Amino acid sequence: MTLQLRVYVPDHPLIKHWLAIARDENTPSVLFKTAMTELGRWLTYEAARHWLPTIDMTIKTPLAQCPATLVNPTVPIAVIPILRAGLALLDGAQTLLPLASIYHLGVVRNEESLEASCYLNKLPEQFTPQTRILILDPMLATGGSIMLTMAEIINRGGDPALTQIVSVVAAPPALRLLSEKYPSLNIYTAIIDEGLNSKGYIVPGLGDAGDRAFGT
């Protein structure tokens, strides 16, 4: 069986709405952060659909026994926000995954060379084999940052088949790199944009996500 990267762009009015707010150059930082929180929430909701482990059991209502399905609390869930911009998605994701462990990863790209480097790594030394991993990074542009992130996760035993990415705007160069190296990945994004400008920014994109989220 050949695997193929799956990129989901959920057709949902709330996702479209908050993407429009985030894209608008007139949106102030505080509202931009709200838009990111909401996109983190709704895209994580979509991503959880076939990824969150469940357990079937029988429970007793006040009237009778019935079958029930619960989120399985014994399977570890790891959420990895890619600093800085990925932090803006975290509040929304965390409301849906309250039991997840949060592992921060600081990745920055050099604005001249566009090369990504890691300045903070709070990943565990080893992921347990069943760990469900959710990466939060709103912008997938050249792909340098997400490829570095994936390499760090794989080095620690993370399974790409149990890994999903929540982004807001994805561009073809990043999707191409991910598809070549990690075809079993699932990506949830609000939009796939057409490409990058000469400085590596996504067009039309939404500008610098980190600067806009934190007012810098």
Please list every residue from 138 through 167 that binds ligand PRP, using CB under 6 A.
138-146
Q: What is the CA radius of gyration of the chain?
A: 18
Which of 130, 192, 201 is CA-nearest to residue 167? 192
Please list every residue from 32 through 91 that binds ligand URA, using CB under 6 A.
85
Half-sphere exposure of 208 (CA within 13 A, CB side): 12
Q: Give the β-pairing of 132-136 and 163-166.
A: parallel
- The site partner of 114 among ligand PRP, ligand URA, none (C-beta below 5 to 8 Å per kind) is ligand PRP
Whole-number minimum distance, CB 10 to ligand URA, in Å?
21
Task: Report residue 171 as tokens.
Answer: 């561009």
Whole-number minimum distance, CB 132 to ligand URA, in Å?
26
Using the rule CB under 6 A, which residue among 35, 139, 174, 213 binds ligand URA? Answer: 139
Cα(76)–Cα(127) distance, integer angstroms: 9
Nearer to ligand URA, 60 or 199 (CB): 199
Using rule CB under 6 A, residue 107 touches ligand PRP: yes
Please list every residue from 53 through 92 that binds ligand PRP, using CB under 6 A.
82-85
Consecutive H or E run containing 74? none
Residues 6+ apart with CB under 8 A from 108: 116, 117, 119, 145
- The site partner of 104 among ligand URA, ligand PRP, none (C-beta below 5 to 8 Å per kind) is none
Please list every residue from 171 through 210 that binds ligand URA, using CB under 6 A.
201-202, 205, 208-210
Using the rule CB under 6 A, which residue among 78, 83, 141, 187 binds ligand URA? Answer: 141
For residue 51, give the amino acid letter: W
